[in-house]
Amino acid sequence: MHILLLVEDDSLLADGIINALERERFAVNHVAEGKAALNHINVEPPDILILDLGLPDIDGLELLKQLRKKNSILPVLILTARDLLDDKLEGLDSGADDYITKPV
């Protein structure tokens, strides 16, 4: 079983993602803010991170950059509404392993 951390501030969307992943036997932890995600990762590192970029407290790209500064090898999937090519390139250049745009 893989432990996944979902960082998503839209509770309805988060619930749908959590339900889908749990059906696939992922253990999912969910937080709605970037600072809570960083704290969670430091205390209980997940196997995989799904990261929204539009968070209420810090931008998801800033969170990702902070993770990568620590040489984190945590796999990160960005799941966001930001769909411009420049956004995708910035996300991947910042250290994301993959980039998916909403709606999924």
Full-model pTM: 0.94
Q: Please give the CATH topology (third level) of the domain spanning 3-101.
A: Rossmann fold (3.40.50)
Instruction: Tell me the torsion sign for CA atoms 63, 77, 56, 33.
Output: negative
Is the pLDDT score of 1 beyond 70?
no
pLDDT digits (tens, 9 = 90+) for 81-98: 999 999 999 999 999 999
Give the integer Cα–Cα distance in Å for 74 and 4. Answer: 11
Residues 6+ apart with CB under 8 A from 94: 61, 64, 65, 68
Provide the percentage of residues in the chain whose pLDDT is more than 70. 99
Structural domain boundaries of the chain?
3-101
Residue with tokens 């991170």: 49
pLDDT digits (tens, 9 = 90+) for 11-65: 999 999 999 999 999 999 999 999 999 999 999 999 999 999 999 999 999 999 9
